[in-house]
């Protein structure tokens, strides 16, 4: 199952980019044997959209056809890392070819786009900067792969 990270804004070189590249590289290596990955990063330029509806249009164009859509949103479902891993495994086992995790810009996601998602997921009740949400998602993807692989990275 291919994993897409679709986000508003282009991430420049720096500590966030370094962390994302590291975790997604680890995810690709660990997930390969599990039928997870590879990942693909789709960044849309917020300067080409003057509002959330414009960002939604750009995100829509970046998503592969038939993809399972998961939006990251403060109102979404909070999952433990194990629940997240189990959810990825279930989607994979159900034959889903692609899953996309969508991260909005500074103002979040346009309501209709958000409502069209298959799932809304949250990293907790706090709102996180969209660049940090990418880091957190990347780490949780890697953690999910290690949980499913039975490696000691995830400790309870």
2-149: CATH topology is: Alpha/beta knot (3.40.1280)
Cβ contacts of residue 121 below 8 Å, gap of 6+?
70, 71, 72, 73, 76, 77, 78, 79, 84, 101
**pLDDT grade for 38, boundaries at 50, 70 and 90:** very high
pLDDT of 52 reads 85
Give the position of tokens 């980019």. Answer: 17
**pLDDT grade for 133, boundaries at 50, 70 and 90:** very high
Both structure tokens of 46: 């917020």
pLDDT of 71 reads 98
pLDDT of 130 reads 84
pLDDT of 90 reads 98
Q: Could you give the CA distance from residue 94 to residue 8 in angstroms, rounded to a whole number?
A: 29
- The domain spans of the chain are 2-149
pLDDT of 155 reads 80
The predicted-structure confidence for 59-100, as pLDDT tens digits, reads as follows 999 999 999 999 999 999 999 999 999 999 999 999 999 999
Residue 107 has pLDDT above 90, yes or no: no
Neighbours of 151 (CB within 10 A): 11
Q: Could you give the CA distance from residue 7 to residue 5 in angstroms, rounded to a whole number?
A: 6
Residue 150 has pLDDT above 80, yes or no: yes
Residue 48 has pLDDT above 90, yes or no: no
pLDDT of 21 reads 97
């Amino acid at each position: 199952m291919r994993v897409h990270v679709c986000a508003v804004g282009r991430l420049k070189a720096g500590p966030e980019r370094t962390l994302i590249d590291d975790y997604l590289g680890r995810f690709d290596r660990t997930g390969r044997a599990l039928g997870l990955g590879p990942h693909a990063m789709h960044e849309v330029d917020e300067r080409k959209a003057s509002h959330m509806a414009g960002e939604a249009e750009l995100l829509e164009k970046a998503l592969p056809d038939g993809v399972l859509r998961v939006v990251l949103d403060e109102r979404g479902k909070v999952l433990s890392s194990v629940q997240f891993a189990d959810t990825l495994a279930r989607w994979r086992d159900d034959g889903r070819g692609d899953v996309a995790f969508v991260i909005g810009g500074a103002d979040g996601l346009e309501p209709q786009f958000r409502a069209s998602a298959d799932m809304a997921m949250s990293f907790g009740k706090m709102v996180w900067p969209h660049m940090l949400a990418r880091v957190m998602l990347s780490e949780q993807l890697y953690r999910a792969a290690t949980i499913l692989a039975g490696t000691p990275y995830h400790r309870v």
